[in-house]
Amino acid sequence: MKDIAPLLQIENLSVQLPTARGIVHAVRDVSFSIQHGEMLALVGESGCGKSVTAQAITGLLPGSAQVTSQHATFNQKPLFTGKYQNGIAMIFQNPMATFNPVLTIGYQIAEPLRQLHGYNRKDAEQEVVRLLERMKISDARQKAQCYPHEFSGGMLQRAAIAMALACKPQLLIADEPTTALDISTQHEVMALLTELMHEQLRAEEKLAILFITHDLGLVSRHADRIAVMYAGEIIETANTNDVLKKPAHPYTRALLAALPTPETKRLLALEGSPPDLRFPPAACAFAERCSQVIPICTQQVPPVVATQHAARCWLHEMEKT
Amino acid sequence: MAATLDEQTGNLWRDVRHDIARNPSALTGFFLLLSLLLFCTFGKLLWPDDPAALDLTQISQPPHLGLQTLVIYPDDASPVIAPENIHALQLTAPAHTEAVRLAWPTKNTMNFTLYRHTLPPSGLQDLGLPLATVHVDSTVSTVNYIDQLLLENRRYFYSVVSLDHAGKPIGVETLAVDVAHATPAENLNRHDGEHPKTIQLPAHPFGTDKLGRDLLARLIEGGRTSLFIGFAAPMLYVLFGALYGAMAGYRGGRIDTGMMAFADFVIALPFLLFVILLRIAFGLGAGDSGITALLVALLLLSWPNSARLVRAQVLQLRSMAYVDAARLQGASGFYIVWKHMLPNVLPSILVTLSFAIPAAIFTEAFLSFIGLGVVPPASSWGSMCNEGLSTLLTHPHELLFPATFISLTVLAFNLFGDGLRDALDVQTREARQ
Amino acid sequence: MNKLLRVEKLYKSFGSGKQRITVLHNVKLMVNSGEIVGLAGESGSGKSTLARCIAGLHSYDSGAIYFRDQCLPQQFSVTDFRKQAKQVQMVFQDPLSSLNPRLTIGDILLEPLRLNSTVPANEQQALAVQWLQRMGLKSSDMSRYPHSFSGGQLQRIGIARALITQPGLLICDEPISALDVSVQAQIANLLKDLRDELNLTLLFIGHDLAMMRYLCDRIVVMNKGAITE
């Protein structure tokens, strides 16, 4: 898989958002890539820049935002051209806000089909039903005539996925699609997404997913690779198993420790809060809250070594050398 | 969205002040308002003229700072120039606003028409106002004419057209005359026994109206009326509407439905009809000031809009968790409305107010203009516009000044209100940054 | 262990006529003094409604709620709320909407003390600061407004407001669902510590079974308006 060019490649992406109280360095020097048909989970706390990264890729950031990147390609074509990027679709956190409440679900799913792919009314209708059925929505033909408020949260999110799929994307960006849902529904949606990926893989229409969440536990079973973000930087990238079994960065370890398991006696909660991104630290951003901090942590930014299991931590760096 | 944790105290009013200070149009509006308020409140101290005093010596006078006037005594004999000395159209005495004495020789024809123009005539078709057509018999060698028709202190162009027997013009002669301001002595009411040739008349920086009242004093006086109605009415009806809406929204259910149905009923009432009915109910005849009737009509009919706005907000606030939290602490309904809802509704009430005030000023002006509002001698900017309309063509300043003041006030409020709304709206605040 | 709260055959429905929806259906629940009871269930299962009925924010149709062996009225009046204010308090799901954005943290914390004052006025301020520090915040935060805090901090302020009058029962209505995983752990630990420290009784509502297993002594599952487990 490594020898073919990745679907999405981002190198040294930085985003600066001007606000009333100063410029927020929301994303700082972030590099990652997504292969065809792969699910990459971008994990981090709120405010760590994961959503901003996604918005930068889709071009949804406000005009005042400053996006810089050394090298950014999607399908080997340059990104950040300010034009509509064909092949990327997005689903959002709040399914209720994704849909316009005064139009039927079916009409809204058909919109990209008719606008982008030139379907006529009848074909679009059929395609909508097919998409909804694929999303395991029963009575798809009737449900397509319903309005958003008649759907439950989980169903609405599935319909949102159907709408995203109507764009026939190669990359689906899911921005915390499960946060607003119940635990059981969360897993339903996750299972659906994974199944969808496998289906597409078989159909040779590879679909990659960039899954954004704050819940490591949720993606542990589904994602191929995990990238952990903290304070605007990606601090660890590796295969899911590697991250879960041998977390290299203390922050990842802390995140894992915060998840309750039946055996947990006491959760290890991280104290303190992330640094203010208006004044990003010139050293390791996590040093202040790290339990294994060593002197160099507060002086220099740790380097990232681009290997299978990359981590931005001095301890990790020392282990290697 | 990135977390922007601010270490400072996030104070809404400080942010609002900051926003307005950075918004040039809102700032302009604010200072304009301030100066208008100062003009109306302290203007009278600086310009203590009586707005109702009639100055017969200065009728419809354009703006001036002090005016030199000739005093005309009844026994003044004008010097007579012998007819043989008159060879062309000329003045027989110094021209002033009480009389312009003209004379011209008859020469070959006996028929003349005399015209007066304010601009230099450009041809036979453009000689101005025809003053007189004169027939004389052949024994007369000069014609004398005294023009006393609505003279003003300015330059006039008199033209004499000589006509043949058929009434065809055969010659024209034009004379430019600078007319000085003059006042008959009996209008001055001087009892000191002196008989000065000229005196200094009081200054009228904004001119006078057709009854010789000082426009500046009337603008100050009228501004007080206009701004009083503009402030008092919206303050009262927005306050009432807010309380009504808060009550309806907080109680909810049937009370809400009933109260809002009544509000809708009030919206449906025709405003003008109500104003007329109220004037009758108050027994207002000629000469009564109509301020009370106007105020009551505004109060009775304008509150439902703010009631609706506040109700919608309160309905939304009612479901907020902090209201539940306060109820759990045993807070009374009044406490919740006062402490938790009002501070959250206040910004939109303020914005409503900042747009209701110019609307009320304009309504007052409109009603006074069509004669349903403030009645003379009380003045308001609207009624001044109404009075100024009759002299619009000859003395436009009488309409121009009050109209400018109304426009400036409404503009200032709108600019300021726009800025206030932007500053108070958290969503647009974030979008702008 | 004595029974603090007993809910018997509780019924509750919303709407009227054809649109009547029964939300609570013969609900029985018991909470003993000093324990953390988890109330789990999907959204729409009626767990929040039950919590609000116990707190008095909703009226109930039939059945009975006993608190310290006293039956609570079906419909709370302001006086009832005042009576119960020191017995039952709630922590809400959305940390931002549970704090009035126009009040300072100090005002928010002092409000319960001012409303049910057994604490003399000159000690209220000190007590509020003390609670704020207990929640890991600084005393200088008293004069700040809610929007300048993070979700976890806001939720801690919400907990402080609920506990400052030292109620017998604290109902937590999904207090951590809206928070990040790492912050969830902070709040969960905080609640556990507070229980040990103050001998609190907690009714904890959530949908994350793993987290509830960690936090609660006993878990009750609700489904479609009835308690199933």
- Average pLDDT for C42-69: 83
Q: Which residues of B touch C (CB under 8 A)?
A: 3, 5-12, 320-322, 324-333, 335, 339-340, 343-344
The distance of C164 to chain B (nearest Cα, Å) reads 11
Question: In A, what residues contact C, Cβ < 8 A?
Answer: 45-47, 152-153, 182-185, 214-217, 254-255, 257-262, 264, 266-271, 273
Q: Is C13 in CB contact (< 8 Å) with chain A?
A: no
Q: What is the pTM (predicted TM-score) of this model? A: 0.72
Q: What is the mean pLDDT of residues A77-100?
A: 78
Mean pLDDT by 10 residues, chain B (433 residues): 37 73 87 89 81 74 76 68 77 81 80 86 83 80 81 84 81 84 74 72 79 84 86 89 87 86 91 84 66 85 90 87 86 83 82 85 84 76 84 84 89 87 63 45
Instruction: Using CB atoms, pick whichever of C89, C97, C108 lies closest to residue B320.
Output: C97
Tell me if chain B has a CB within 8 Å of the CB of A30: no
pLDDT of residue B2: 34
Question: What is the structure's pLDDT at A4?
Answer: 67
Q: Does C131 touch chain B (CB under 8 A)?
A: no
- Res B261: pLDDT: 92
What the block records as the tokens of C71 is 């039956």
Contacts of B12 in chain A (CB under 8 A): none
Q: Which pLDDT belongs to residue B77?
A: 60
The answer to whether the Cβ–Cβ distance between C148 and B321 falls below 8 Å is no
Q: Write the residue in A51, A232, A273 that is nearest to B1 by C-beta.
A: A51
Residue B11 confidence (pLDDT): 58
The 3-state secondary structure of B41-69, one letter per residue: HHHHHHCCCCCCCCCCCCCCCCCECCEEE
Tell me the pLDDT tens digit for each residue of A137-149.
Answer: 888 888 888 888 8
Q: Is A63 on the interface with B (CB under 8 A)?
A: no
The neighbours of chain B, by the rule of 3 or more Cβ pairs under 8 Å, are: A, C
Q: How confident is the model at residue A168, as a pLDDT?
A: 82
**Closest Cα in chain C, distance from residue A269 (Å):** 5
Choose between C16 and A118: higher pLDDT. A118
Contact A46 C213 (CB under 8 A): no
Model pLDDT for residues A125-139, shown as the tens digit of each residue: 888 888 888 888 888
- Please tell me if residue C223 touches chain A, with a CB cutoff of 8 Å: no
Mean pLDDT, rounded, for A149-156 = 83
Best residue in B322, B335, B425 to probe C by mutation, most C CBs within 10 Å? Answer: B322
Contacts of B5 in chain A (CB under 8 A): 273, 276
With a CB-CB cutoff of 8 Å, which residues 17-56 of chain C face chain A?
42-44
Q: Helices H, strands E: what count in chain A?
A: 11, 12
Note whether C144 contacts B10, CB cutoff 8 Å: yes
Q: Which of A18, A47, A64 sits opposite B3 (nearest CB)?
A: A47
Q: What is the pLDDT of residue B78?
A: 63
Find chain B residues with C-beta within 8 A of C83's C-beta.
330
Q: Kindly state the average pLDDT of the residues C54-82.
A: 83
User: How far apart are the CA of B216 and the nearest CA of chain C, in angstroms?
Assistant: 45
Convert the pLDDT of each residue in C175-193 to its tens digit: 887 787 778 888 888 888 8
Share of residues in chain A with pLDDT > 70 (%): 90
What's the average model confidence in pLDDT over A210-220?
83
- Which chains form contacts with chain A, at 3 or more CB pairs under 8 Å? B, C
How many interchain CB pairs under 8 A, A with C?
A: 67
Asked if A273's CB is within 8 angstroms of C153's CB, the reply is yes
Candidate ranges A1-5, A40-44, A75-79, A309-313; pick with highest mean pLDDT:
A40-44
Asked if pLDDT for residue C51 goes beyond 50, the answer is: yes
- Cβ contact (<8 Å) for A24 and B4? yes
Predicted local distance difference test score (pLDDT) of residue B16:
76
Higher pLDDT, C227 or A319: C227
pLDDT exceeds cutoff 50 at A221: yes
**Three-state secondary structure of chain B:** CCCCCCCCCCCHHHHHHHHHHHCHHHHHHHHHHHHHHHHHHHHHHHCCCCCCCCCCCCCCCCCECCEEEEEECCCCCCCCCCHHHCCCCEECCCCECCEEEEEEECCCCCEEEEEEECCCCCECCECCEEEEEEECCCCCCEEEEEECCCCCCCEEEEEEEEECCCCCEEEEEEEEEECECEEEHHHHCCCCCCCCCEEEECCECCCECCCCCEHHHHHHHHHHHHHHHHHHHHHHHHHHHHHHHHHHHHHCHHHHHHHHHHHHHHHHCCHHHHHHHHHHHCCCCCCCCCHHHHHHHHHHHHHHHHHHHHHHHHHHHHCCHHHHHHHHCCCCHHHHHHHHHHHHHHHHHHHHHHHHHHHHHHHHHHHHHCCCCCCCCCCCHHHHHHHHHCCCCCCCHHHHHHHHHHHHHHHHHHHHHHHHHHHHCHHHHHHHC
Write out chain B residues lying below 8 Å of C14, CB-based: none
Query: Is the CB of A269 inside 8 Å of chain B's CB atoms?
Result: no
Count contacts between A and B (CB, < 8 Å).
33
3-class secondary structure, A189: helix
- CA-CA distance, C185 to C195, in Å (whole number)? 15
User: Residue A270: its chain C contacts at CB < 8 A?
Assistant: 182, 185-186
pLDDT at B265: 92
Q: Touching check for A61 and chain B: CB below 8 Å?
A: no
